[in-house]
Every structure is written in C-alpha cells, then in structure tokens.
C-alpha cells in the first residue's frame, strides 16, 4: 500500500448529506417518527437555517463537491403544483453559496422521503407517483438548469423499497411484501428513465448534464463455506437487492437513460442460520468480534470487495462511476481513518486499471439523523453535539484527515496512515 496515490485532475473530492437527515423542519413521513434512541428529525442539524455556516465548514475541509438533496415535500404541496418560491429561493441561495466557495453540487431528487400527498396516495406503489415526480423534476430542472449539471434521481431505491415493504424499518413499516417491493422498484425505475430524459434535454449550464441513480451495494455472502442454507439465503438476497434492482434501472435500453452510475458502498453482510451478521441486525459487536468479523457500528467492512465491485460495474455497464457515498460509523476515529485509507487504495487501484471514476463523496459532512437509529451512529467529518441546543459543529480527526486528502489530491495524508489494518 506504499507510494503516492495519484487521482486525475478534476476528480471530485466531496461530501454528502440528505435533507431529512440534516435540514430539520421537514414535513414528510419522517416528521413524527421516533427512532430507536428516541430521536426525531424535526430539528436534526438545523442545516435548513445554518447552511451558510455549513458551506464555510466545507470550505475548511477543502472539498470541491457536495452531494445534497432537495426535499420534494418543501417544493410542492399538491400534485402538479407550482414550486414554492420561498423554498426554492433558499435552495438557490445554497447553490449560490456553494458556487462562491468553488464547490460543485450534485443534486439528489429522492432520498428516502416523499411529500405527504404522495404517501397518502399509496407512495410508490401507486403508478401515479411517476408522472407526479416527472412533473416535479421538470419544474425543478427548469428553475436550476443554470446552476446544476450533476443530477442524482434516486438514492438507493433498493434500501428504500426493502425497508418500507420487506423489513418494516421505514414508514409505512410493512414486512414481507415482496410484490410491493418489486412494484416500487419498477415504478422508480420508470420515473428515473423519464426524469433523466427531461434532465438531459433541459440542462443548460454549458456542461452536458449528467444523471444517474445511486445504487447501494452490499455483498451478501454465506458465513459458513459448507452451509447450503447460508449460501441459498445469500444468493436470494443478492438477486433481490442487487441483480433485480440493477436490471430494473439499467437493463437493456434503460441503460441509455443514465450517463453515470452512482455507487454507495459500505461493505458486506454475511448470512448464518438465517441471520445477517451485522450490527444493524442487532448482533452485538462482541459476538461479531468473536466470529472474526470486522465492522463499524453498522456493517461488516470489506475493502477488497470495493475494488472488485468497481471493476465489475465497469465491465458490465461501461458507465463512468461516482462513489456517491462511502463512510464508516464509529466514535473510533483511527478506525474510520484506516477504513477510509483502505477503500481509497482500492479505488485508486481500480482507476489505474482503467475504471473511470469521477468523484468520491464521503458520507457524511455532519453527524446526523440516521433513520431508524436516530443520532446514535456517528458518520460525520464534523461532529455535532445534539445535547447542546446550539448544535455546535466541530472538526473531527477523520475530518482533518479528509482535509489532507482533499487538499493534496489524495497523496500525502494517506501514506502516513496506510500501514495499520482496519
């Protein structure tokens, strides 16, 4: 792992957030939700009022890109309604602040939340969500076409559809509804294709508009080499959450809708006796350690899989790739630094082997509202003290480290940290 890592000029070193997780003051299906730790998203990091300060922090981190969501529920209060001018103005101002700081925005159009009128009409099970979304996107692109050229339609459709209809973790909390899961994916895939056409037709920044989804990739593997059931379950999960979703969005001619593929990569879930061996599934870290599984507070880490995945996506789809999310949740910052270092080495190696990757967005800018888990998972480059009503941000050790990467374009900081294993 020694030696300088060279990343191409113009590579995006970014960070990412989503509206429900950081903005606060949202009215969507999450507003009244109480997470496992009793937390709710009603104030979150108050990024809604403090975005200028947060852009300053991004300047201090030295990032040149920011993957941010725009919250649909703020902009339309009914299907086909005009966009709310006050809320639009706020997002325009945020985009202008980013521009002044030389930070390129990637705008996410759907990140696990919907306007209440979409939820009331059956959410993405109802095909009426498709034209409503396309109408929203058409209006939004028309309003922002001079400011944004990088668009991300859907964040992790597989996570959204499985947590809403299979696992019961996200509103409306249904379980084992396989037909609903498939339907939601199909409707979102159709909305992606139609919205992408609009974006590619109307974008007007002087650069060709870019559009894609962000696919979460989890490796599902058998824990025991010789267990039939561990293998069978791993294969079934892989087909349902990876293959089926990629086919729906990128299979056949649908691939032509996207100009890139966004990849969110956190690691692996190994299956044993019908149980996923990951902390998010309630398995204790002590038990995972006993089993020899290295994980953060959410998933098993699997850096070598990252490089393999990038090569596989490159071969299969031939689309340029953005790493739309990678990060680790832990209060152990040395662990997070080692984890990041190992993943960036994998990324660099894949790029040297010809995989076209255009940028890397660290999840996340801030400690934030981690959906079902509330504020207990610490992903931030900046920490946020949620016990203090002023919600102070502080630079973390991993933030300092990432600043080194952003400002040296990937070289110096990593060499120092490349030896210790995660």
To ligand BGC, the closest distance from the beta carbon of 298 in angstroms equals 6
To ligand BGC, the closest distance from the beta carbon of 21 in angstroms equals 6
Residues 6+ apart with CB under 8 A from 380: 364, 365, 366, 367, 368, 396, 399
To ligand BGC, the closest distance from the beta carbon of 4 in angstroms equals 30
To ligand BGC, the closest distance from the beta carbon of 156 in angstroms equals 5
3-state secondary structure 184-244: HHHHHHHHHHHHHHHHHHHCCCCCCCEEEEEEEEEEEEECCCCCHHHHHHHHHHHHHHHHH
Q: Please check whether residue 6 is in contact with residue 13, taking contact to mean a CB–CB distance below 8 angstroms.
A: no
Question: Is the CB of 230 or the CB of 370 nearer to ligand BGC?
Answer: 370
Q: Please check whether residue 106 is in contact with residue 14, taking contact to mean a CB–CB distance below 8 angstroms.
A: yes
Outline where 251-295 has alpha helix (H).
Answer: 285-290
Q: Please check whether residue 244 is in contact with residue 185, taking contact to mean a CB–CB distance below 8 angstroms.
A: yes
To ligand BGC, the closest distance from the beta carbon of 107 in angstroms equals 15
Q: Please check whether residue 99 is in contact with residue 146, taking contact to mean a CB–CB distance below 8 angstroms.
A: no
Distance CA 113, CA 116 (A): 9
Question: Is the CB of 114 or the CB of 203 nearer to ligand BGC?
Answer: 114
To ligand BGC, the closest distance from the beta carbon of 6 in angstroms equals 29
Question: Is the CB of 203 or the CB of 380 nearer to ligand BGC?
Answer: 380
According to DSSP, residue 69 is labeled E
To ligand BGC, the closest distance from the beta carbon of 102 in angstroms equals 25
Question: Is the CB of 21 or the CB of 119 nearer to ligand BGC?
Answer: 21
Question: Is the CB of 216 or the CB of 342 nearer to ligand BGC?
Answer: 216
Question: Is the CB of 305 or the CB of 404 nearer to ligand BGC?
Answer: 305
Question: Is the CB of 104 or the CB of 155 nearer to ligand BGC?
Answer: 155
Residues near ligand BGC, by CB under 6 A: 18, 21, 155-156, 159, 216, 264, 298, 325, 363, 370
According to DSSP, residue 83 is labeled P
Residues 6+ apart with CB under 8 A from 138: 198, 202
Nearest to 147 by CA among 96, 109, 110, 193: 96
Task: For Cα atoms 192, 97, 210, give the angle at the middle one, nearest 5 degrees.
Answer: 25
Question: Is the CB of 374 or the CB of 404 nearer to ligand BGC?
Answer: 374
According to DSSP, residue 366 is labeled B
To ligand BGC, the closest distance from the beta carbon of 377 in angstroms equals 7
């Amino acid at each position: 792992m020694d030696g300088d890592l060279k990343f191409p000029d113009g590579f995006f070193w970014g960070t990412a957030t989503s509206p429900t997780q950081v903005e606060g003051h949202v009215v969507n299906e999450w507003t009244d939700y109480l997470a496992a730790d009793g937390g709710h998203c009603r104030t979150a990091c108050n990024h809604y009022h403090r975005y200028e300060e947060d852009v300053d922090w991004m300047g201090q981190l030295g990032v040149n890109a920011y993957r941010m969501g725009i919250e649909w529920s703020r902009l339309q209060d009914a299907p086909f309604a005009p966009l709310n001018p006050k809320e639009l103005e706020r997002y325009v101002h945020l985009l202008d602040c980013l521009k002044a700081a030389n930070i390129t925005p990637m705008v996410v159009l759907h990140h696990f939340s919907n306007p209440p009128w979409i939820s009331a009409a059956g959410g993405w099970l109802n095909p009426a969500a498709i034209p409503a979304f396309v109408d929203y996107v058409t209006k939004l692109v028309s309003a922002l076409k001079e400011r944004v050229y990088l668009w991300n339609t859907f964040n992790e459709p597989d996570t959204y559809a499985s947590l809403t209809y299979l696992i019961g973790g996200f509103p409306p909390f249904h379980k084992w509804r396989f037909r609903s899961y498939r339907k939601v994916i199909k409707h979102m895939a159709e909305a992606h294709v139609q919205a992408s056409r609009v974006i590619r037709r109307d974008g007007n920044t002087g650069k060709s508009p870019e559009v894609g989804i962000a696919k979460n990739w989890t490796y599902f593997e058998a824990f025991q080499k010789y267990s039939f059931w561990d293998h069978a379950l791993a294969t079934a999960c892989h087909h349902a959450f990876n293959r089926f979703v990629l086919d729906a969005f990128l299979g056949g001619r649908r691939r032509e809708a996207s100009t890139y593929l966004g990849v969110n990569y956190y690691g692996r879930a190994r299956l044993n006796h019908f149980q996923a061996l990951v902390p998010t599934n309630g398995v204790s870290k002590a038990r995972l350690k006993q089993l020899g599984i290295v994980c953060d507070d959410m998933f098993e880490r699997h850096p070598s899989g990252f490089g393999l995945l990038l090569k596989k996506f490159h071969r299969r789809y031939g689309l340029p790739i953005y790493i739309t999310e990678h990060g680790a949740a832990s209060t152990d910052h040395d662990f997070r630094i080692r984890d990041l270092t190992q993943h960036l080495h994998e990324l660099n190696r894949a790029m040297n082997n010809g995989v076209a990757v255009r940028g890397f967005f660290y999840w996340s800018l801030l400690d934030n509202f981690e959906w079902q888990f509330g504020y207990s998972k610490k992903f931030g480059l900046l920490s946020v003290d949620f016990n203090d009503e002023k919600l102070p941000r502080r630079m973390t050790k991993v933030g300092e480290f990432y600043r080194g990467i952003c400002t040296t374009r990937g070289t110096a900081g990593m060499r120092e940290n490349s030896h210790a294993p995660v």
